[in-house]
Amino acid sequence: MGLFSKKKKTDPTAEEATSTPVEGSGAAAAAAEQPAEASTDSAPEVGISFSAFRGVGSSGPQVAPPSEEQPSAESASAPAQPQPSAPAAPSAAPQQRPSAPQPTPAARPELPKAPAAPPTVLETVPGLRDNALLRDALAALPEKPTGAQVLGVLRQMLQGHVFLRVKGDARQQISEGKPVTFGIARVGDQNFMVAFSSGRALREAVQSDGDAETSAVAQPVSALLQQLLKADFGGIIIDNNSAPRRVVLPRDIVEQAMTQADPEFRLKALLAAPREADTPHKVAALLAEAPPLWVAVGALAEDDKKMGIAEARLADGTRLVQLHSHPLEVVAQGRGEKALPIQVPKLAKMLRDHEELGGVLIDPAGPLMTLTREELAPVLALPE
């Protein structure tokens, strides 16, 4: 069978089968009864620069809170969608005035950024829901991606699910409580997990090796990456048969990302989902549960010895504190800022003490969301 080829293990393109329990079986990892594919193409070698990623999310310096007395810098014209700026004062006034989020623009921002709104096309094969954020990030990769672009794919992977290709009938194996056998790639002397972002990627793999005697199982990304780190895998390859829409994520960068992530990726998952009328209320309720959050801090424009918290400003002048669901969200801005953890009760106190702050802007690199003070009522009600 193509997924479990009989190539010699010294062949870097070879795959072999491994039996392992798939966490999150049942509803959380529903088996898809349709052809899955093999990864027989050689895994691309991607050089990743860790200089921007290492060190973020640390305790960082003390930062002055927003202050009404500080001047605000603004551009001559407001952009079509939020474009948060680097800190310009202890109030971290931005260099531009963003307007409220708009539908996904026709021109996609270059990686590692993404459109302001989440994807609306959720399937590339009827009946099989993609990890649309990850799929679209991979589709934006050039033939030779930069380290920043690869990190952009990684940050979009921190939510939702991916697919594993399974030898035999995954649904039957799960229902019978049997270990699920999935394919791994052998690259040099290391094993790599192989996963797929979409139905299209699965179909391309089937077309590549012609093996229809495999099935697929959906696996929550959080559970899969935790399983990767518990074992001795060298990393994970996503959409290996879909060049150039594929990427290799080495173990060390996955480990660093997971160390600083919400284990369940709750906030990122809400921002990645199609927007509904109650989405802002769901996000505010989650913030009140105190998930991991970060703010972006950097040197002030007028005094590089002082640090400020980055803000954004709406077209009507409303000031918003920039919040981030993961340090990679700060890195994606490309402004050289550091990610500083912020406790939700401290955020609540900041908003209470500074009534001129109109709310928050979450994950400005996209997909993003703004919440007003009224929508943040569950946060403002938190005790100090």
pLDDT (tens place) for every residue of the chain, 384 residues total: 222 222 333 333 344 444 334 443 322 233 333 333 333 344 434 333 333 343 334 343 334 444 433 323 232 222 334 444 444 333 333 333 444 455 444 588 999 999 999 999 999 999 999 999 999 999 999 989 999 999 999 999 999 999 999 888 888 888 888 887 888 898 889 999 999 999 999 999 988 888 778 888 899 999 999 999 999 999 999 999 998 889 999 999 999 999 999 999 999 999 999 999 999 999 999 999 999 999 999 887 767 778 889 999 999 999 999 999 999 999 999 998 999 999 999 999 999 999 999 999 999 999 999 999 999 999 999 987
Structural domain span for residue 30: 15-40+47-51+115-259
91 located within any domain: no
pTM comes to: 0.77
Tokens of 112: 């590692």
Q: What is the pLDDT of residue 67?
A: 42
At 106, the amino acid letter reads A
Q: What is the pLDDT of residue 93?
A: 35
Helix (H) or strand (E) holding 300, with range, is none
Measured distance CA(31)–CA(184) in Å, rounded: 18
CA neighbor of 64 nearest in space, from 220, 362, 295: 295
Tell me how many domains the chain contains: 1
341 located within any domain: no
347 located within any domain: no
Distance of CA 343 to the CA centre of its chain: 21
160 located within any domain: yes
379 located within any domain: no
Strand partners, 129: 123
The string of DSSP codes covering 173-241 is: HHHTTPPEEEEEEEETTEEEEEEBSSHHHHHHHHHHH---SEEEEEEEHHHHHHHHHHTT--EEEESTT
Q: At what angle do helices 132-139 and 147-157 cross, to 10 degrees?
A: 170
Strands 235-238 and 247-250: antiparallel
Q: What is the pLDDT of residue 186?
A: 87
29 located within any domain: yes
220 located within any domain: yes
315 located within any domain: no
Strands 235-238 and 190-195: parallel
